[in-house]
């Protein structure tokens, strides 16, 4: 049995998949320590894991409520401002828990775990929850502001990617990270998000190859486990009104902005307009209050639109007609599993790339925020009535039904790096991709 210390930094879309992987590791006999933001402590404790807090609850809540976190021009710097101050305390907390039988696991921003791997050789598996953070010149991630056109010649794309890494990303992350590296007697890190953050042991990609085909310039030590389809984090209490709503008519369309900060009144107005234009019923998730009577009007009673702050999507979506969402990869994967069409409305971060991949898979459309009421209604009407989208959704549902469990596959891969792993476990296949030799890159 190994001690698996998992660090999950970010929103629920970053934390929940790792809870599913942690559950699979615990079922295989390992002791799981889970490091994340304080608001997720109850969910961690319900799984029976030891909990280590990263930062303060009030800082995390303030960051999510900051409009700059959800604007594509300011989101990266705002997110880094939340992460940078906790790098050293997080490093110290992890260091205090290391023993000879520890494996570290961390999402994109688990820089402290990567530092410990460098300094002490502790086995470390870095996790890519979504493909956009594998900064490939062969398949540049989609973004609202910094998308590199895929049709450009490869040398130009490579040069542009290197420029973005060094002039934009390193410029934000480098000063604070490298100041800590000086304290640890480590040399400065460069190309931090494109190269340095990837573990030299193993890189675990929590998505299938049909969603993001492996690229020649991905880390050679990567493995694709498939989607970790995990979303049962409610208290299990029955919801009689929701059950009655689902049974009262045709399957509804689900609308959610996830953790994204949105203007609740404007979003609700767009939802109401889309429902009226398409004649459908709706379930609006998120926010603290439902649309009021003045917004609803006489034609939108509770039988047509129901509001809930949270409902576990994995149980809900198979009973629904379509999903309108923000572009979180976990949300998209559950829609794929349910076989329903998607309208993806990205706001910031990896959401643009995830949205484009949903559209490329033929399972929905991308509609960048901010959007008009008419544009949302048009996009919803399209996905509801396009037979090609319906066919692709059904095919994708079948593909996922026939695939191995993503959480179990991820757990098996992580288990390979446990110092006490048995010979049998160490040689179990984990659908590892073998990329072509990495092409030479243009060095500035």
Q: How far apart are CA 424 and CA 231, in angstroms?
A: 30
State yes or no: cis peptide before 113, omega within 30 of 0: no
- The boundaries of every CATH 3.40.50.2000 domain in the chain are 3-229+405-426, 240-401
CATH class given for the domain over 3-229+405-426: alpha beta
Q: How far apart are CA 148 and CA 154, in angstroms?
A: 11
SS3 at position 216: coil
Q: How far apart are CA 402 and CA 406, in angstroms?
A: 12
Q: How far apart are CA 284 and CA 266, in angstroms?
A: 13
SS3 at position 200: coil
What string of pLDDT tens digits covers the 444 residues of the chain?
899 999 999 988 899 999 999 999 999 999 999 999 999 999 999 999 999 999 999 999 998 888 898 888 888 899 999 999 999 999 999 999 999 999 999 999 999 999 999 999 999 999 999 999 999 999 999 988 677 888 899 999 999 999 999 999 999 999 999 999 999 999 999 999 999 999 999 999 999 999 999 999 999 999 999 999 986 666 667 899 999 999 998 999 999 988 776 777 888 899 999 999 999 999 999 876 566 655 665 666 667 899 998 898 999 999 999 999 999 999 999 999 999 999 999 988 899 999 999 999 999 999 998 889 999 999 999 999 999 999 999 999 999 999 999 999 999 999 999 987 643 444 444 444 333 322 222 222
The domain 240-401 having CATH identifier 3.30.420.10: the answer here is no
């Amino acid at each position: 049995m190994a001690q698996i210390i998992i660090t999950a930094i970010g929103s629920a879309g970053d934390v929940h998949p790792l809870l599913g992987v942690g559950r699979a590791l615990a079922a295989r006999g390992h002791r799981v320590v889970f490091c994340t933001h304080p608001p997720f402590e109850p969910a961690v404790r319900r799984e029976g894991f030891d909990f280590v807090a990263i930062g303060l609850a009030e800082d995390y809540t303030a960051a999510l409520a900051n409009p700059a976190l959800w604007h594509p021009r300011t989101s990266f710097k705002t997110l880094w401002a939340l992460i940078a101050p906790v790098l050293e305390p997080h490093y110290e907390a992890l260091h205090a828990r290391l023993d000879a039988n520890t494996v570290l696991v961390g999402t994109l921003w688990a820089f402290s775990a990567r530092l410990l791997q460098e300094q002490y050789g502790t086995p470390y598996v870095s996790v890519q929850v979504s493909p956009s953070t594998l900064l490939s010149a062969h398949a540049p991630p989609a973004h609202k502001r910094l998308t590199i056109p895929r049709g450009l010649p490869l040398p130009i794309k490579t040069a542009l990617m290197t420029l973005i890494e060094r002039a934009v990303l390193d410029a934000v992350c480098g000063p604070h990270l490298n100041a800590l590296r000086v304290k640890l007697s480590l040399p400065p890190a460069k190309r931090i998000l494109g190269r340095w953050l990837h573990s030299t042991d193993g890189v675990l990609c929590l998505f299938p190859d049909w969603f993001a085909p492996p690229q020649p310039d991905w880390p050679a030590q990567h493995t694709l486990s498939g989607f970790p389809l995990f979303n049962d984090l409610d208290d299990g209490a029955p919801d009689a009104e929701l059950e009655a709503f689902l049974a009262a008519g045709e399957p509804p369309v689900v609308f959610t902005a996830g953790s994204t900060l949105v203007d609740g009144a404007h979003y609700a107005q767009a939802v109401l307009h889309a429902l009226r234009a398409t004649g459908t019923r709706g379930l609006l998730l998120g926010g603290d209050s439902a649309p009021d009577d003045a917004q609803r009007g006489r034609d939108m009673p509770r039988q047509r639109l129901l509001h809930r702050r949270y409902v576990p999507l994995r149980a809900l979506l198979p009973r629904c007609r379509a999903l309108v969402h923000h572009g979180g990869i976990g949300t998209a994967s559950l829609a794929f599993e349910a076989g329903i069409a998607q309208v993806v409305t990205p706001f910031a971060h990896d959401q643009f790339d995830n949205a484009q991949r949903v559209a490329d898979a033929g399972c929905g459309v991308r509609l960048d925020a901010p959007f008009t009421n008419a544009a949302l209604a048009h996009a919803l009407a399209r996905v509801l009535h396009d037979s090609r989208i319906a066919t692709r959704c059904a095919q994708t549902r079948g593909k996922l039904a026939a695939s191995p469990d993503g959480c179990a596959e991820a757990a098996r891969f992580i288990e390979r790096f446990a110092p006490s792993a048995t010979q049998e476990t160490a040689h179990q296949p984990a659908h590892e991709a073998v990329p072509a030799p990495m092409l030479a890159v243009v060095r500035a």
